[in-house]
Amino acid sequence: MSEQNVQQVYNLPRIGDPAPSFEVNTTHGPIKLEDYKGQWLVLFSHPADFTPVCTTEFVGFQEIYPQLRELDTELLGLSIDSTQSHIAWVRNIEQNFNTDIEFPVIADLSKEVAMKYGMIHPNDGGTEASRAVFVIDPDQVIKAIIYYPLTTGRNMDEIVRLVKALQTTVNHSVSTPANWKPGDKVLVPPPASQQQAEERMKEEGIEVIDWYLAKKELKED
Amino acid sequence: MACIKSELTLAPSEVKLFLNTVNDSKVNLDDIKNQINKPLFKIKSALRELTETNYMTETDGYYVISDKGKTYLAENK
């Protein structure tokens, strides 16, 4: 096989996989993935510092950071830039937008983390990281993945909604319907047998639309 | 890559904060977490950095300031 045809194949992490470990330099000093054990983590990548869409996103991520922290969720950014570049950009954002970026940003110059998480999509961004979001649970298992192209800024409200929905699922063993938001009814697991289906149709206290689709109010703990 | 590298990535105020927290007695992560108003990842990272650079020692989950840490505090009041 010629050198030109040799391609390195990476196993990209999928939902349900253990989050690939890392030890990295960040704007807050050296950090290991395991430093977040016991908490939820939103790990996101952006293409490059000092670029327009990314700058609007960073302001947006900082705006949702207090909400995420209330959900015991930390935020960690990443791009293939140096710590010095990140520091300069974060200071620039503070000057231009009066926004103090409080979460750390990984300086992944070696692309080690970006490769492990499949953040580089060569046909969209060349060697830059795409707009990836990984939601990682307290046991450091990947619970959700979002990818956006370089041209399109992410929806911050959706990221908060996603974390809330995932935590609701974990804490209450339920699913959440389309456009669910806290306070809305949740979905109960569908019957696993014909007898269960029969009884589900007569069940009181839940909204049965059909035997396989039923909603209920979530009682607050 | 920078042409010169600091021994620590922690700011002087952070070094003093963590060293002062372990200065009086040996404390564990929970004790430190209750005393320092910082995110947990930041506390874990700072403790690792300060033990790796010998400003404090860690044994069985308990942190104790080292002679180097005491000297730092004395010189940086």
Per-residue pLDDT of chain A (221 residues; tens, 9 = 90+): 445 555 555 668 999 999 999 999 999 999 999 999 999 999 999 999 999 999 999 999 999 999 999 999 999 999 999 999 999 999 999 999 999 999 999 999 999 999 999 999 888 878 888 999 999 999 999 999 999 999 999 999 999 999 999 999 999 999 999 999 999 999 999 999 999 999 999 999 899 999 999 999 997 65
Q: What per-residue confidence (pLDDT) applies to A219?
A: 79
Other CB atoms within a 10 A radius of the CB of residue A66 amount to: 9
Tell me the helix, strand and coil percentages in chain A, rounded to 5: 35, 25, 45
Cβ atoms of B44 and B36 within 8 Å: the answer is no
Exposed (0-12), middle (13-18) or buried (19+): which is A36, by Cβ within 10 Å?
Answer: buried
Contacts of A32 in chain B (CB under 8 A): 44-45, 48
Other CB atoms within a 10 A radius of the CB of residue B71 amount to: 11
Q: What per-residue confidence (pLDDT) applies to A127?
A: 85
Read off the pLDDT band of B7 (50, 70, 90): confident
Q: What per-residue confidence (pLDDT) applies to B2?
A: 65
Q: Which amino acid is at B73?
A: L
Question: Smallest CA–CA separation between A195 and chain B, in Å?
Answer: 48
Cβ atoms of A106 and B45 within 8 Å: the answer is no
Question: Smallest CA–CA separation between B43 and chain A, in Å?
Answer: 9
On whether any CB of chain B is under 8 Å from the CB of A69, the answer is yes
Chain A interface, best mutation among B13, B14, B41, by max A CB count within 10 A: B41
Q: Is A125 a catalytic residue?
A: no
- The pTM for the full model equals 0.90
Q: Who among A39, A82, A104 is closest to B40 (CB)?
A: A39
Q: Tell me the pLDDT tens digit for each residue of B24-49.
A: 788 999 999 999 999 999 999 999 99
Report the C-alpha gap between A19 and A12 in whole angstroms.
Answer: 10
Residue B9 to residue A69, Cβ atoms within 8 A: no
Residue B9 to residue A30, Cβ atoms within 8 A: yes
Structure tokens at A169: 């699922």
On whether any CB of chain B is under 8 Å from the CB of A74, the answer is yes
Residue A38 to residue B39, Cβ atoms within 8 A: no
